[in-house]
Amino acid sequence: MADTAPTKIESPNVINKVEVISDRPDCATFIFVDEDHTLGNALHYVLMKNPKVDFSGYSIPHPSDNKMNLRIQTKGNTTAQDAIMNGLSDIKDISQSVDERIGEESNQSHIYSDAQLCHRHDGHPTNRLF
Amino acid sequence: MAKKSKENGSSSASNNNNKQDQDGLPDALLENQRTRVRVGNAGNENTRGIYYSGAYTSLGYDNSFSLDKFKKNFKINVLSDKPDHLVFEMIGVDAPIANALRRILISEIPTMAIERVFMINNTSILQDEVLAHRLGLIPIKVDPKIFNYKEPGKEYTAEDTLIFTLKVRCYKDANGETINGTVLSKHLTWVPTDDQNEMFPNEADHPRPAYDDIPIVKLRPGQALEVQCYCEKNIGREHIKWSPVGTAFYKILPEISVSDKVTGEKAKKLKQSCPMNVYDIEDSGKAFAARPMDCTMCRECIRDPEMEPFVKLERVRDHFIFSIESVGTIAPKTLFQDAIKILIDKCSTVENSLNTQI
Ligand code: SF4
């Protein structure tokens, strides 16, 4: 945590969040940086629930490496890229309906806009995020 | 996986009455395995949920994800709503999603906490580093959303840093009473820098420790403490002091069924065996689970092999009792909503990253 060792700079460059390793459209390994079981297991779950996906699995190869690997194999009628996009939007849909339901439970309205709640990995360190 | 082959064997029979969109599986045993975790003496059974979309195709049950079905089944039911502690039921959601929200609550919601402590004077019994650690763990009540993350190696600015001072001297007054024998969190005073006074126009919003009575260190007459504390914004994954929750956890709903045969002496024995007083005895003398929510799944009631066949301990796989206990800086309901936003945001970040690569 010393000033001299800025090891954990959150790069505003979101391009490096995921690396795709794939030599066939229906199979791919996605290497996530700075993600863990939170997203890994949730993604694995929604992918398994997608009828077009044959296999999905994730692993965290080493605890002190901030990487998470996600493997997807589809049934061929869709690409692994499409499958992960589908999975991500499924998680968003689920989250949104959970949010609606908890919103109904609470009478207080939402105080913050989505932009303000951006996760820190989204970059723009000069904006007042969160 | 063994289950899958079993289903394939009976596929021809069940394909005839192809009942799509039914609520459960036609086979009672399989349905039980799908929706319940069994707790037995020898261990837990069916702990892992079956998520494969095609797992029950041959039985005419579609196990794939559908938003409509999810919305239809999903329920939230608040059980207790105190300022710092929220307990609610979340029904119809699977563990990976509930767990993601729990993990985000603990380790990914940003807050402000004391990160750097400048020691000007410390003659107390506590070593500098121990004192600094204690200071770090004090929850600071301030809206973290108006601050930035501090950039490593850069100067402190009003937008990413809060400064508190702590200047306490212990002494004996004229009556021989010890004054300031305990340094409390209320002794931390906020020092606004630059335009920070304008950031908090209301007195009530001023940054301060969440509680006034947290003991920091004990002093004896003649000892003194003078430190300057710099708060930074970060998340619980970096250090637990930034976690906004004391803890966030869920338990899965216990479901207990007692056989009709448990009557008389046996029923009394069952009632007495439970340390959580889950069971009661009906007027007819039959034992039943009156307070299943209190069950901790300690398995004491089935430890006696004679009792095991009569008591069925199960958990409802998709029924979570979620508890969020805030450290006092942000309301638990807001925390839960923030956690959902962060999960959505994580997905968007990945989507953006993938889109830029294609
Ligand atoms: S498992 Fe333990 S707490 Fe639950 S009913 Fe049995 S004895 Fe009581």
| Residue B205 touches chain A, beta carbons under 8 Å | no
Beta pairing partners, A20:
A30
Provide the domain count of chain B.
2
- Domain of B126, CATH number, reads 2.170.120.12
| pLDDT at res. A52 | 95
In which band, very low, low, confident or very high, does the pLDDT at A107 lie, cut at 50, 70 and 90? low
Inform me whether the pLDDT recorded for A47 exceeds 70. Answer: yes
B337 DSSP assignment? H
Domain of B161 in residue numbering reads as 111-242
Residue A103 has a pLDDT of: 87
Interface confidence (ipTM) of the complex: 0.85
Pairing, β B162-169 against β B140-141: unpaired
Residues B88 and B163 occupy one common structural domain:
no
pLDDT score for B22 = 59
Residue-wise DSSP of B100-152: HHHHHHHHTS-EEEEEEEEEEEE-SSS-HHHHHHHHHTSPEES-GGG-PPPPT
Least confident of A65-69, A109-113, B42-46, B131-135: A109-113
Distance CA(B87)–CA(B251), nearest Å, equals: 11
Average pLDDT over residues A121-127: 31
The residue that leads in pLDDT, A39 or B13, is A39
φ, ψ of residue B195 in degrees (nearest 5): -100, 25
> Which residue in the block uniquely carries the two structure tokens 């069952």?
B270
Q: Average of pLDDT values for A37-61? A: 95
What's the CA gap between B158 and A68, in Å, rounded? 36
Contacts of B336 in chain A (CB under 8 A): 102
Q: Are residues B196 and B268 in the same domain?
A: no
Distance, CA B256 to ligand 1 centroid (Å)? 9
Q: Of the candidates B242, B277, B307, which is a domain's last residue?
A: B242
B192 & B253 share domain: no
Residue B261 sits in a domain whose CATH number is 3.30.1360.10
Determine the pLDDT at residue A10: 46
Structure token digits, residue A4: 């001299």
Same domain, B126 and B228: yes
In tens digits, what is the pLDDT along chain B, a chain of 358 residues? 344 444 443 433 444 444 445 578 999 999 999 999 999 999 999 999 999 999 998 998 999 999 999 999 999 999 888 889 999 999 999 999 999 999 999 999 999 999 999 999 999 999 999 999 999 999 999 999 999 999 888 899 999 999 999 999 999 999 999 999 999 999 999 999 878 888 898 888 899 999 999 999 999 999 999 999 999 999 999 999 999 999 999 999 999 999 999 999 999 999 999 999 899 999 999 999 988 888 999 999 999 999 999 999 999 999 999 999 999 999 999 999 999 999 999 999 999 999 988 6
> pTM for the full model?
0.85
Q: Select from B242, B259, B284 the last residue of a domain.
A: B242
List the domains of chain A with CATH numbers. 7-104 (3.30.1360.10)
Q: How many CB atoms lie within 10 A of CB A97?
A: 16
Task: Say yes or no to pLDDT of A79 above 60.
Answer: yes
Q: Residue B309: which H helix or E strand, with range?
A: none
Task: Supply the pLDDT for residue A117.
Answer: 34
- CA dist B10 and B325 (Å) reads 48
Question: So what's the pLDDT on residue B11?
Answer: 39
B 71-110: CB under 8 A from A: 71, 74-76, 78, 88, 90, 93-94, 96-97, 99-101, 103-104, 108, 110
Contact B212, B206 (CB under 8 A): no
Q: Give the residue from B329, B320, B251 showing the smallest Cα distance to B84.
A: B329
B23 in a domain, yes or no?
no
Using the predicted structure, report yes or no on whether residue A1 has a pLDDT greater than 50: no
Does residue B342 share a domain with residue B259? Answer: yes
**In contact, A121 and A14? CB cutoff 8 Å:** yes
Contact partners, residue B285, CB within 8 Å, separation at least 6: B263, B264, B267
| Distance from Cα B43 to the centre of ligand 1, integer Å | 14
Distance CA B41, CA B62 (A): 33
User: Does residue A38 surpass a pLDDT of 90?
Assistant: yes
* Whether B207 and B142 share a structural domain: yes
**3-state SS record for B244-291:** CEEEEEEEEEEEEEECCCCEHHHHHHHHHHCCCCCEEECCCCEEEECC
Residue A15 is predicted with a pLDDT of 55
How many CB atoms within 10 Å of residue B62?
Answer: 17
In a 3-state reduction of DSSP, which class is residue B296? coil
CA of B312 from ligand 1 middle (Å) equals 11
Answer whether B175's CB lies under 8 Å from B160's CB. no
CA separation (Å) from B86 to A105, B81, B307? Answer: 12, 5, 36
Distance from CA of A50 to the nearest CA of B (A): 6
B129 with B188, same domain: the answer is yes
